[in-house]
Amino acid sequence: MSSTTSEAPSAPAPEHAAASTGPGKFRGGKKKASAVAKQSFAGRSFKVRWKRDRQMLLMMVPGVLFLLLFFYIPILGNVIAFQDYQPFLGIGDSDWVGFQNFVDLYFNPDFWVALRNTLVLALWQLVLFFPVPLGLALIVDSLMSSRIRRWFQSIVYLPHFLSWVLVIALFQQVLGGAGLVNNELRHLGLDALPFMTNPDTFPLLATVQLVWKDAGWAMIIFLASLASIDGSLYEAAAADGAGRWRRMWHITLPGLRSIIILLLILRIGDILSVGFEQFLLQHDAVGPGASEVLDTFTYFAGVVGGGWSIGAAAGLAKGIVGALLIFAANKVAHRLGEPGIFSKKAG
Amino acid sequence: MATDTMVRKTSGRQTKGLTFNPTRPAWKEPVSPLYQAIKAVVLGLITLSIVLPILLVVSTSLADDQQLVAAGGYVLWPTHPTLQAYQAIFSGQFMFRALGVSAVVTAVGTVLALFVTITMAYATSRPVLFGRPVLLMVLFTLLFAPGLIPMFLMVKQLGLLDTLWSLILPGIFGAFNFVVMRSFFMNIPQELIEAARIDGASDVKILWKIVLPLSKAVVAVVGLFYAVGFWNAFFNAMLYINDQTKFPVQLVLRNYVVQGGGLADQLGIASTPPPQSMQMAIVVVALLPILLVYPFLQKHFNKGVITGAIKG
């Protein structure tokens, strides 16, 4: 009937749960539930509901206030992308210039460098980062000793909770010009290698940093799906003579199929966001030619360079294309029969 | 996860050798030593790649001059541990202030964030007036971001520039944490809430007396997530704060370690301990709180609080 009752079939469906939670499992139940809901809510007048839900409405106030102040009003602030914004004039008195900022953006070579870097980095992340958590999850899932398993999980989740500043600082200490590895190389009489400052190898370095920081954490979702595969499937397959690799091919991977497709689609939908702080922090060391991405372009052109309007134009263009891509990716996920990040019956 | 281990435990049989926990199912073929060895090496290397840099930094920060010079700048184990690098960085007001700023921002931010997130998540977890539109208002934030420049102009407009509020207020609500919290609330048996309503309890009272006591785990996890986020934030400070006395630890770390600024000058001391160990000491100051709360965070991962929300 609803997700609450399907988990505990013996309990009678309470009025509230039936009306509120989850998509209905079968038609009849849903109809009945909505009939109950109608009786208890829609029949009452707005005034009665207002009185009944007064405290709940009060509880929404802080959150709504936050969303207005730090989300919805700033969204309106994007109008400066269509202005020649001057800080001392403000939004009200700055001149309107139509799409001129977007035209300027189109003829700005730095913008295209930033776009190219973003796409290159996204591709590297897709090829090098994406498979790692899956592989890690398969290894961890195959560990028999729960003690080793717990220890390993504790260690690989840790870097996710370190700030990017800390991660870059740690990388510098190991791979930097005066770092551990280069110290050893010099001791051995070899030339130091510019791991942290070479623009040509920067995409690789950035992806390695991302793997170090987040691959362990990204594994958690694969582990959850692995745990939800019915163990008796493995037992049955083994009884039929399927070996380790056949079981992985015919049971494990099909069991993970939907989550892999979902994450892949979402990653492609989010292709314009490759990270921000990581690239901002290494902007000076590697140079903008390799490390400028769309988000850092917005920062340097807008805040540092004072080109508020062109920065806002870049940010707005990225935001809109990004939202369309996520929306499209979600549609594709639905088409493939996967749940996607948000469905029509949100919540 | 629970069913998984259960299956393994009930159908397990005793094995000897590398496995410490004898829960191998009867139908699983024994693992070849070569395969086992490869796996051990892979796991070992991954572990080492994470533990080694952290050990290196902590050890170097504690090492004394002689050992540092002899080792060429880095040590993996301090032979004569000393706190002189820490004494040096804490000799002026600068580092104390940074630590104080980070602590205040983290503490105040986490409390406010929990308040906003809990009230919002609870108010939208049941079918109430305006519940649906407010929920959509939150979910839309997952799709789109207002962008850095409009956010900056907003913070400026509110007069928050160069105040600690600019580091706190923009971070007191996160859609992901909201979703985690709300899906936990929705899984609380509705009979309990219904019974309390019949007994005449108000919504605030239900939240305080019934829902929150049942939600300690999720409140702990979400609170720790917020706390880690506030502690780790550096870009907000770079954008909104000019006044050096209001720099948080992460920005100090960025300016004087990652960018290699003149730390000794800033502290107003002659660089008696080698700059390397002072830099490492700052890294440790930024790292230590995370390492301290991590076990508490970790405790809840396997309870399915997070994965349950992601899947649901």
Encode chain A in three state secondary structure: CCHHHHHCCCCCCCHHHHHHCCCCCCHHHHHHHHHHHHHHHHCCCHHHHHHHCHHHHHHHHHHHHHHHHHHHHHHHHHHHHHEECCCCCHHHHCEECCCHHHHHHHCCHHHHHHHHHHHHHHHHHHHHHCHHHHHHHHHHHCCCCHHHHHHHHHHHHHHHHCCHHHHHHHHHHHHCCCCHHHHHHHHCCCCCCCCCCCCCCHHHHHHHHHHHHHHHHHHHHHHHHHHCCCHHHHHHHHHCCCCHHHHHHHHHHHHHHHHHHHHHHHHHHCCCCCCCHHHHHCHHHHCHHHHCCHHHHHHHHHHHCCCHHHHHHHHHHHHHHHHHHHHHHHHHHHHCCCCCCCCCCCC
CB of A170 within 8 Å of a chain B CB? The answer is yes
Position A342 confidence tier, pLDDT thresholds 50, 70, 90: low
Residues of A numbered 95-134 whose beta carbons fall under 8 angstroms of chain B's beta carbons: which are they? none
How many A-B residue pairs are in contact by the CB < 8 A criterion? 311
Position A201 confidence tier, pLDDT thresholds 50, 70, 90: very high
User: In A, which residues are within 8 Å of B234 by CB distance?
Assistant: 163-165, 277
Per DSSP, B12 falls in state E
pLDDT of residue B115: 97
Q: Is residue B307's pLDDT more than 80?
A: no
User: In B, which residues are within 8 Å of A186 by CB distance?
Assistant: 72
Per DSSP, B199 falls in state T
Interval A190-210 mean pLDDT: 92
Encode pLDDT of A83-139 as tens digits: 999 888 888 888 899 999 999 999 999 999 999 999 999 999 999 999 999 999 999
A165, B207: Cβ pair inside 8 Å?
no
Encode pLDDT of B140-165 as tens digits: 888 888 889 999 999 999 999 999 99
B232, A174: Cβ pair inside 8 Å?
no
User: In B, which residues are within 8 Å of A325 by CB distance?
Assistant: none
Encode pLDDT of B219-266 as tens digits: 988 999 999 999 999 999 999 999 989 999 999 999 888 887 766 666
pLDDT of residue B9: 40
A62, B119: Cβ pair inside 8 Å?
yes
Identify whether the C-beta of residue B24 lies closer than 8 Å to the C-beta of residue A144: yes
ipTM score assigned to the predicted complex:
0.85
Mutate which of B258, B278, B293, B311 to disrupt the A interface (most A C-beta within 10 Å)?
B258
Encode pLDDT of A151-199 as tens digits: 898 899 999 999 999 999 999 989 988 888 888 888 888 888 889 889 9
Encode pLDDT of B24-61 as tens digits: 677 777 778 888 899 899 999 999 999 999 999 999 89
pLDDT of residue B303: 58
Residues 6+ apart with CB under 8 A from B112: B168, B169, B172
Interval A255-283 mean pLDDT: 87
Q: Is residue A34's pLDDT more than 80?
A: no
A342, B126: Cβ pair inside 8 Å?
no
